[in-house]
Amino acid sequence: MLTIYCALFSEAQEIIKRFQLKKETRNTHFQVFSDTKGEIRLVLTGVGAIAAATAVAEISSCYPPKQTDLLLNFGSCAARDEVPIGKVFVCNKLTEECSGRTFYPDMLYHHPFLEAELISRPKIQSLNEMESDCTKEMAWKETRLYDMEAAAVYQAGNYYYGSHQMIFLKVVSDHGCKEDRKDGKMTDMQAQMSALMQDIAEPVSRYIETLCEICHTKKKESQTQAMFRKQAEEEAAKLGKQLHCSFVMQKELLQLLLYWKLTGTDDTEILEEYYRQGRLPAKDKREGKKILDELKERL
């Protein structure tokens, strides 16, 4: 499953609409939307690091992610003037400004967007702060983005997800907070955000679909492997009883059966021989050990 974390409804509404997500009735501190196929869940975290980290922790505890699941943090960010509004970036580096800690989500899947470094700050980015920051250490040319949640999402998410399971997708919504903007009405800002998200909805939706396909493919692979192991475990449990296996013998038997299955060895034919000879079930542990040793010899 893909779980998408957005700070604001205006950032999420286009995704909710396009993927026909329905609000979940489960009682959490956060609004959660999901599809009927069980492929996408979208969480509204609210603004800021603490809200984001809490949301990731609470939702991940309610719905513990599997190895095959992905986390997507999607939302708006600020950038310097030269980066056009509406440009979408995948973030390959997240820095939490207040602690100075940097995190690197794995970049394993290809995507149609540009990549950039993102700095998470506890307050809305001002133009002046952004400009002074960019003059500091830019020997390595990186586009820098600014938001308030990503580093927190990564840190909280890393308790539940690996660095290869978290993706940070940000769209540039402004060039820093200017004085005149502070006086702007909230409704205007929301409308602007909604319009922006509508503009980029197409490529973002396609990317989300791709991420869902990745989850689906991985899930199928994982299910096949789990089923395979479960089969071997069941067989080992049954045979282990007949061999009076100790804990260690049981482990050895399971490993042997797993290997046989992987290499396509027909173990039923081998075991049938023992049943025919009346050696299975074994009369005691000693006889069981002898049979197990013989089985291991038949590799």
Partner 1 sequence: MNLKNDYENAKFTHIYVEKRVWSHPRTKEILTHFPKAQIVAIDHYKDVFNRRGQDVICEHRSQSLILAQKEDHYFYEGAPVCQDFGNTNFYYCSTMMNCIFDCSYCYLKGMYPSGHMVIFVNLEDYFRELEQILVKKPMYLCVSYDSDLLAMEPLVGYAKHWADFAAKHDNLKIEIRTKSAGHKMWELPCLTNVIYAFTLSPQRMIDACEKGTPSAKARIACATTGLKLGYSIRLCFDPMLYLPTWREDYDTLLRQVDEAFKEQGLSMKQLTDVSVGTFRISQDYMKKLRRTMPAAPAVQFPYVNVGGVYQYPPKLLKEMEDYLILELGKRMDKEKIYHE
Using CB under 8 A as the criterion, which residues of the chain lie in contact with partner 1 when the complex forms?
A: 67, 92-93, 102-104, 106-110, 115, 117, 139-140, 142, 158, 161-165, 210, 213-214, 217-218, 220-221, 225, 228-229, 252, 255-256, 258-259, 262-263, 296-297, 299
Query: What's the start-to-end Cα distance of the chain, in Å?
Result: 40
Torsion region of 292: left, alpha or beta (phi above 0 gives left; psi -120 to 50 gives alpha): alpha
Q: Which is nearer to partner 1, 138 or 195 (CB)?
A: 138
Minimum CB–partner distance for residue 216 and partner 1 (Å): 9
Structure tokens at 250: 């049981």
Minimum CB–partner distance for residue 108 and partner 1 (Å): 4
Q: Are 252 and 291 in contact (CB under 8 A)?
A: no
Which is nearest to 267 in space by CA: 160, 219, 171, 275? 275
Distance CA 107, CA 293 (A): 47
Distance CA 58, CA 64 (A): 10
Minimum CB–partner distance for residue 182 and partner 1 (Å): 33
Minimum CB–partner distance for residue 27 and partner 1 (Å): 29
Distance CA 244, CA 222 (A): 31
Helix locations, 118-246, DSSP H: 127-136, 150-157, 179-182, 186-199, 201-243
Q: Which is nearer to partner 1, 33 or 168 (CB)?
A: 168
Rg of the chain's alpha carbons, rounded to an integer? 27
Q: Which is nearer to partner 1, 110 or 182 (CB)?
A: 110
Contacts of 162 (CB under 8 A, 6+ apart): 67, 106
Structure tokens at 172: 């540039």
Q: Which is nearer to partner 1, 20 or 99 (CB)?
A: 99
Provide the residue type at 189 as one letter: M
Q: Which is nearer to partner 1, 158 or 190 (CB)?
A: 158
Distance CA 190, CA 35 (A): 24
Q: Which is nearer to partner 1, 33 or 260 (CB)?
A: 260
Which is nearest to 146 in space by CA: 119, 177, 176? 119
Q: Are 16 and 44 in contact (CB under 8 A)?
A: no
Minimum CB–partner distance for residue 194 and partner 1 (Å): 30
Q: Which is nearer to partner 1, 11 or 252 (CB)?
A: 252
Q: Which is nearer to partner 1, 124 or 214 (CB)?
A: 214
Minimum CB–partner distance for residue 29 and partner 1 (Å): 25
Minimum CB–partner distance for residue 280 and partner 1 (Å): 19
Minimum CB–partner distance for residue 68 and partner 1 (Å): 11
Q: Which residue has the tokens 């998408």?
A: 4
Q: Which residue has the tokens 């679909």?
A: 209
